[in-house]
Structure 1
Amino acid sequence: MKILFYRYNSICEPSIIAALTGFSIDVQEIMEDKSGTIESAKCNIERVRSAIESYKPDAVFSINFFPMLSKICHIYGLIYIAQSVDCPVMELFDKSVQYETNRIFLFDNMCRLSENIGTP
């Protein structure tokens, strides 16, 4: 299995990468440009798109939910795995959270995603 791991320097990332590689999962890392400019956002999208096309992962993984990743994965028909480590995560209110390609894991039982998106 091949995972594209979208990083932004969360303290959780190194241990999760170690666990994935410990299970013989091939992990390619891509680092988010956090400069906050429109150009950096466009660069992040292009880097993810390029990495998907060249690496051909089975899934994309990130700590916390990124609507941009969800949308790109939906376009490519890839599974997007997001593990929430923060609460609240305001990005969970984005409509892209409803894509069938998402697998979102929340650590806090007070974050009831289904109530927020209107599903049972």
Structure 2
Amino acid sequence: MVTHRRISRTQFLGYLKKLEQEAPVPELKLHQAARQFGLMIDDLLDGAERQHVKRNLVTYTGIAPGVIDQWRAAVDVEHASSRIDQAALGNSHNARVSGVMLTVRSRRQFGWSATTP
């Protein structure tokens, strides 16, 4: 099974803009992004007419603008991730890294191994 790279939020918003303009979009990536963001592709393409352009590029005509707006609103919300303010802990440049990266960096810096308690 081939693993696909994640589609970024901004890339998916670009696909929605192209759908709105009835410009060609990569069909497989559009379907992958819809699954990734938990959206039903059938809701978007209901009543739309598909036209093959070349390779995996297709154009869809007749998509309801309201559905595209709903999808944009659902995807446009940036999800907050837990970050640690490293400047408060004494690290330079007001670095903001996740707790996982802090753990990985600490283990490398201090030479901890998986067997060390």
TM class by smaller structure: under 0.3
Give the TM-score taking structure 1 as reference length: 0.21
Q: Which has the larger radius of gyration?
A: 2
By relative contact order (CA 8 Å, sep 6+), the higher-ranking structure is: 1
Structure with greater strand percent: 1
Give the TM-score taking structure 2 as reference length: 0.22
